[in-house]
Amino acid sequence: MLLAYIISNLITATLSLFLGIFVYSKNRKSNINITFALMNLSIAIWAFGFAMAIRAPDKDWGFFWVRFLNVGAICIPLFFLHFVFALLKLEEISKKAIKAAYAFSGLTLIISFTPLFHSDISPKLSFKFYSQPGPLYFIYLLLLFLYINYGFFKLLNAYKKASGLFKNQLKYIIIACVVGFSGGITTFLPVFNVNIYPFGQLFFPLEGLIISYAIVKHRLMDIDFVIRKGAVYVFASFLYLIPLVAIMLYAQKIIFKETNLIFSVLLTTAILIAAYIFPKLRLHAEYRAEQYVFKNLKDYKKAIQELTRATVTILNKNELCKKIVNTITQAMDVKSASIYLLDEEENCYVLFESNSLKNLPNTASNFHKNHPFFSLLEQRQEIIVREEIEHIKETADTQTILSAMNALEAEITIPLISKNKLIGIINLGIKGNKKMYSHEDLELLSTLAGSAAVALENANLVENLNKQRLAMERADRLAQIGTLAAGIAHEIRNPMVAIKTSAQLLPERYEDEEFRSYFSSVVVSEIERVTKKINNLLDYARPANPFFQKENINSIIDEMVAFLKNEAHKKGQTIETILSPNLPQITVDKEQIKQVFINLILNAIEATPQNGKIFISTQKQEKANGEVEFIKIQVSDTGIGIPKEDWEKIFTPYYTTKASGSGFGLATTQQIVIKHGGTIDVNSKLNEGTTFTITLPVNPLLLLNNNAQHVQ
């Protein structure tokens, strides 16, 4: 029976001490956390003193431990009351009550060290030493009754008014305190010679468990349980400690014919400390070993982990594969490496990147998509280690694997799997130190392969989108060339008529020197005019690589207006330009910007009725310091307008409102503007007209670089 009380009190003391320290460490400035910690410290003192008093070796030690436990017993109700005031935010309005409580408890604490509090200690029931109350013991009982009842009164009132999370928190605090104080009150029965064991005290550990649960489940005292893991560790420790202590006490009884409480407490404490400290020491030792003894191992792990994180940010296949091969060969000291990727168009796996391969012509040969080795990799979806394959029973599959790995100069082959499909492989040769690839190596590489496969799929998507965009731009350009060619043919006809007429008159008036001079000038100027028109069309039709350079945006607009004015004249339309003077030069790809203006002006011509007007304007947008940062260009027409619900749709590929339209024009325009770091917006009123507003940065390269750095 006494053993159960000892164990119960030791568990209560340890759990309360742990909870108090933990809660205090989470917020050292909060009065809620401070008073809760002090209350739990008082419970720990009381419980530990009780356990030690049960088996005190003599009366002097008995008196010492009884007085020790009374320190905790007197402080428990005091700190409980203060905790309630702090929790319910009543400290400010209850300052006098709190000060009075501390004064009375302090006085009681002083009295507790005199015979007025305990007149004596004597055996009661199975306990060797138990308190005999003195004449002033009733003061403690009165304070206990007042503090606990007033505290519960406040908690219950607050619980009735509370809601949500706080209501749940109060519920668990009330339950925990009812369990704890009910158990503690039973310890007074033997004090007043009631021969009933204080069974309630055996359940006192439940108070700590309930409070712990409230912290975990309902964030009691705003502790969002990082301690979830810690709590599991602590409770697991207790589960392991209880049978261990019981076995230890039983073994003492069998071997030494008695149990020594001090020895048992010291040994239990040592076990607890060892259980807590050993995992931390192990982690620290591992860290130090990696830091100094296995520094290269640590560095290579870090390099591979950083590469795994970096793969998701690289959207260029060439750059991605180069980075993977270079990082692995350097970090792991691998002699050779290669990456094969699936080429869907060729239906085979092709060598995409390699480093230090010996037999490159042989190795670089492509492998058909249905090659047995690649089919096996797709089925197995795991890293293949050549040395492991060599040590298993020879089969058709092992022969296929070894034959392919020899051809690939691979010690290990890592499959790149996306959506259960093999999209490529990474082959690694022997290490520089000729060691096998460890289990840890394979785990790191397997993680890398997963990230690399996702990154490669993303790179493929980006590549396909770029191809579609280029195809869309080419289709749009061809559609515009067809429209422009008709207009240019008309413009060429006029100079050709002048040349023909002059040529017909030449034989008759050849002797006329003035006519010959006139003929020469007319022919040359008209041919130059025709040549310029044809060259403009050819320049526009000829696909060119993007080339950014400083240009005068007004000059480009003037050139495009001259190029297209004949189209407007066919419908009796006029194109008016209102171009802001002294604009700074802007960095653009001239040919692409031409395509933007051709699209917008042709759209305006088509949308505007006979004898309508088209307006083109430029305007600078300045910073507060006067520096020009953007140039705004507007193309307006007096056409039929665009319904508001179609404003977003018009920039979508294949969307068109014209019977003969391709649906590429405005989509391409938007893509080009975005590529220049700019924006394009539309504003339109039905039957009044439409305005397209383009805002272009003066230096798009600087703006795009800054945005890229911001994203990274």
Mean pLDDT of the chain: 78
Alpha helices by DSSP H, 506-589: 513-541, 553-570
Q: What are phi and psi of 423, to 5 degrees?
A: -105, -5
Amino acid at 650: I
Residue 473 lies in a domain: no
Residue 281 lies in a domain: yes
State which of 243, 263, 293 marks the end of a domain.
293
The answer to whether residues 215 and 262 belong to one domain is: no
State which of 225, 259, 285 marks the end of a domain.
225
Percent of the chain past pLDDT 70, that is, above it, reads 75
* DSSP bridge partners of 354: 338
Q: Are 630 and 553 within 8 A, CB to CB?
A: no
Query: Rounded distance, CA 89 to CA 87, Å?
Result: 6
Provide the number of structural domains found in the chain.
Answer: 4
Residue 477 lies in a domain: no
Residue 648 lies in a domain: yes
Residue 538 lies in a domain: no
The answer to whether residues 266 and 328 belong to one domain is: no
Positive or negative torsion for Cα 699, 704, 707, 708: negative
Q: What tens digit of pLDDT does each residue of 197-207 get? A: 776 665 665 66
The answer to whether residues 118 and 150 belong to one domain is: yes
Residue 7 lies in a domain: yes
Q: What tens digit of pLDDT does each residue of 427-467 get? A: 999 887 777 787 878 888 888 888 888 888 888 888 877 77
Residue 413 lies in a domain: yes
Averaged over 491-501, what is the pLDDT? 65
Query: Rounded distance, CA 631 to CA 543, Å?
Result: 27
* Residue 233, pLDDT score: 56
Domain of residue 113, CATH code? 1.20.1070.10
The answer to whether residues 361 and 456 belong to one domain is: yes
The answer to whether residues 248 and 205 belong to one domain is: no
Averaged over 234-257, what is the pLDDT? 68
Q: Which of 370, 461, 453 is nearest to 419 (CA)?
A: 453
State which of 424, 448, 463 marks the end of a domain.
463
Query: Rounded distance, CA 236 to CA 232, Å?
Result: 6
Query: Rounded distance, CA 493 to CA 501, Å?
Result: 12
Rg of the chain's alpha carbons, rounded to an integer?
44
The answer to whether residues 253 and 306 belong to one domain is: no
Q: Are 317 and 341 within 8 A, CB to CB?
A: yes
DSSP string, 421-446: EEEEEEEE--BTT-PPPPHHHHHHHH
Q: What tens digit of pLDDT does each residue of 530-546 get? A: 776 676 666 655 555 56
Query: Rounded distance, CA 59 to CA 62, Å?
Result: 5
The answer to whether residues 345 and 392 belong to one domain is: yes
The answer to whether residues 214 and 269 belong to one domain is: no
The answer to whether residues 218 and 231 belong to one domain is: no
Q: What tens digit of pLDDT does each residue of 659-669 get? A: 455 556 787 78
Residue 215 burial (CB < 10 Å; 0-12/13-18/19+)? buried
The answer to whether residues 640 and 663 belong to one domain is: yes
**pTM (whole model) above 0.85:** no
Averaged over 107-111, what is the pLDDT? 92
Residue 568 lies in a domain: yes
The answer to whether residues 312 and 394 belong to one domain is: yes
Q: Are 684 and 641 within 8 A, CB to CB?
A: yes
Domain around 356: 298-463
The answer to whether residues 208 and 233 belong to one domain is: no
DSSP string, 350-408: EEEEEES-SSHHHHTS-EETT-HHHHHHHHH-S-EEHHHHHTS---HHHHHHHHHHHHT
